[in-house]
Amino acid sequence: MRVGTWNLEGRWSQDHLALLAAQECDVWLLTEVRDDTSLPGFESHLTTAKMSERKHWAAVFSRSQIQPLPDPHPASAAAVGMGLVSCSSILPWRTCGTVPWGEGTTTEKTSRALEQLMAALPVGGLVWGGDWNHAMEGSEYAGSLGGRAAIKNVLADRHLQLATNGLPHCIPGLFTIDHLAVPKSAQIVDVTRIVAEDLRGDRLSDHDAYAAEIALT
């Protein structure tokens, strides 16, 4: 199974489609998804809530048939397919405001969002990813160290391993804030950072994409 994540930054074009198609993923956990985003041969489920008029918080796209689940959080989409629950999430960042996060520090907002998410998601049989706005090591640029610790605790509680651990951000010297977590029972065969540029070298998003091939037991 090959699963990927990418923050589309609310953009969509044939170049975006070409980049996604070239990775040959079975499941995409996309964030900041414009409402006309479409992948031929994929079923999709987008969050009910939107970041803006035409931009959904997150979406799950799958080559296999999926059964949409109620959004476990306004900024997360989840669906059942291929024997797994796939969840795509945006988590709070330093300047995120209060909607849909509530009041408090970045750590408090992140912990609260995680608590709501995990109340709705299963223990085991879960693939979870998206733009978490937290690096899992090194300097913390977008999130908070307390938020990072809360995410790591959730990964341990849900028996998940982080496939994207140690991969670089598109900003030199930083680690990725876009992540893929898969069951600890799965073997991570390969994980790749995909530079989000078109053939002319122009950026397609301010985030790179990431994909992991896993073997499920």
Name the percent of the chain lying above pLDDT 70: 100
Whether 139 shows a pLDDT value over 90: the answer reads no
On whether the CB atoms of residues 99 and 109 are closer than 8 A, the answer is no
Please give the tally of structural domains in the chain.
1
State the average pLDDT for the chain.
Answer: 96
Enclosing domain of residue 7: 2-215
DSSP state of 175: B
Whether 81 shows a pLDDT value over 80: the answer reads yes
d(CA 197, CA 65): 30
Tell me, what CATH number does 124's domain have? 3.60.10.10
- The two tokens of residue 165 are 């651990």
Name the percent of the chain lying above pLDDT 90: 90
DSSP string, 138-171: S--SSS-HHHHHHHHHHHHHTTEEETTTTPBPSS
Whether 43 shows a pLDDT value over 80: the answer reads yes
pTM comes to 0.96
pLDDT of 217: 77
Place of tokens 């900041």: 32
pLDDT of 171: 85
Q: What confidence tens digit (pLDDT) does each residue in 49-73 have?
A: 999 999 999 999 999 999 999 999 9
pLDDT band at 172, cuts 50/70/90? confident
What is the tally of helices (H) and strands (E) in the chain?
Answer: 3, 13
More confident residue, 139 or 156: 156
